[in-house]
Structure 1
Amino acid sequence: MVAEAIRTAMGDGPLDGWQAADRLAEALGTPAPPGGPATVSVAVLVELVTAGLLVNLS
């Protein structure tokens, strides 16, 4: 993972879980197909928050 690409993809403002998941998938080069299933789930984001790699402000 390229940390800077992920930081850039997340932006500065607050995001819903699905928005963050979509942006993370895009940054990793695995975007979800239009109308298709998510390639990164919100559960993955929870794991990253738990590991201290993302900040949960909700």
Structure 2
Amino acid sequence: MAWVLFKADFDFSPAARNGWVTIAYKAGTIANVTRECAGLALAADRAEKTGRPSRENQ
């Protein structure tokens, strides 16, 4: 798992689900996502690594 900040909208379809599931992340969202999702979003330049948000920012 990895914390990322999505810089742009990103649709993620896990390979294990064969396209049956798509998760839509909106720009500005900070989320703890799977390594697969983080890798694809970072490679597409739609996200950047970040730390866990503090409770004040939730």
The verdict on a shared fold, with TM-score over 0.5 as the criterion, is no
Greater gyration radius: 2
- Larger strand percent: 2
TM-score by length of 1: 0.28
